[in-house]
Amino acid sequence: MDVSIELVTSLGKAALATASVAAFVVGTLLLAYGAVMLCCVPGYPGESFWQRERILYGLVPLCVAITVFTLVAWALIRLRRINLNGMYRMTFWVVISSLAIIWAGTMMAVLLHSGR
């Protein structure tokens, strides 16, 4: 009886670990997309910054990304694979890697737009 409960628990942990990796990837993509849409998409000269489209396509993905990262941290703590200090380190590296992805994407877009 204990073997079957342990097997179900280990399968549940494997599924939770797989889901947290997938959620981390989705969160990183949402963070990059939301930041680029919020900060780098130009508007018309003299246009107000707080347009409906910028809020919808920029701020909403950023908030969803923060929620996803919170759920990933919860899953990793639940799996006992990370402690509070590890969570802070993971968050730091998530921010650094996301900024690097955003910077690289912006530079590629600028190079493609300039025709070089």
User: How much is the average pLDDT of 77-102?
Assistant: 75
Q: Give CA–CA dist 110/116, Å, rounded.
A: 9
Question: What is the rounded distance in angstroms from the CA atom of residue 33 to the CA atom of residue 57?
Answer: 8
Q: What does the pLDDT look like over 96-116, one tens digit per residue? A: 887 787 778 777 877 777 765
Domain residues for the domain of 14 are 2-114
pLDDT digit string, tens, across residues 29-74: 888 888 878 777 766 776 776 777 777 888 889 889 989 988 887 7
This model's pTM is above 0.85: no
How confident is the model at residue 2, as a pLDDT? 47
Q: CA-CA distance, 18 to 53, in Å (whole number)?
A: 33
Q: Which residues contact residue 41 at a Cβ distance below 8 angstroms, ignoring those fewer than 6 apart?
A: 54, 57, 58
Residue 7 clears pLDDT 50, i.e. is over it = no
Identity at 81, one-letter amino acid code? R
User: Domain count of the chain?
Assistant: 1
Q: Which amino acid is at 76?
A: L
